[in-house]
């Protein structure tokens, strides 16, 4: 995988549902994987930075896992709320330089 890919592109869930989405990234020369939350008309906001294979991070109802060997990360949201509606971006950083490669994002809409 040369690029960072996210799936699904968009997701509609009901309030209270749990959901998850995927980020795939190049596993060779991996250095770090970032998740960001981007609400409309605001700046993207950092959720997690993960570097080690098997890392798991949690912030409230949101958690993420990392598999650097196979090149994927999952983001989980437990008991989705309308305020969770946003675009969730992941970005991968390689070890050779300082540029970050972003996926196209997963747009989550939580219906009350």
Partner 1 sequence: DGGITQSPKYLFRKEGQNVTLSCEQNLNHDAMYWYRQDPGQGLRLIYYSQIVNDFQKGDIAEGYSVSREKKESFPLTVTSAQKNPTAFYLCASNRGSSGNTIYFGEGSWLTVV
Name the site residues for partner 1 (rule: CB under 8 A): 4, 6, 9, 31-32, 34, 36, 41-44, 46, 49, 51, 89, 91, 93, 95, 97-105
Smallest gap, in angstroms, from Cβ of residue 38 to partner 1?
8
For tokens 């675009």, the residue is 87
- Distance CA(78)–CA(95), nearest Å, equals 32
Closest approach, Cβ 76 to partner 1, in A, equals 20
Measured CA to CA in angstroms, residue 94 lies from 1, 13, 57, 81, 91 at distances of 13, 33, 20, 34, 10
Minimum distance, C-beta of residue 12 to partner 1, in the bound complex (Å) = 17
Looking at beta carbons only, is 13 or 49 nearer to partner 1? Answer: 49
Give me the least distance between CB of 45 and partner 1, in Å please.
8
- Residue 19 or 92: the one with the smaller Cβ distance to partner 1 is 92
Residue placing its CB nearer to partner 1 in the complex, 96 or 112? 96
């Amino acid at each position: 995988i040369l690029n960072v890919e996210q799936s699904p592109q968009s997701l509609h869930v009901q309030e209270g549902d749990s959901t998850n989405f995927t980020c795939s990234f190049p596993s060779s020369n991996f250095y770090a994987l970032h998740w960001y939350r981007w609400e409309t008309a605001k700046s993207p906001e950092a959720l997690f930075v993960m570097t080690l294979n098997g890392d798991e991070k949690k912030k409230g109802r949101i958690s993420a896992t990392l598999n650097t060997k196979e090149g994927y990360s999952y983001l989980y949201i437990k008991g989705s709320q309308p305020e969770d509606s946003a675009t969730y971006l992941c970005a991968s950083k390689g070890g050779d330089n300082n540029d970050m490669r972003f996926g196209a994002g997963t747009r989550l809409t939580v219906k009350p």
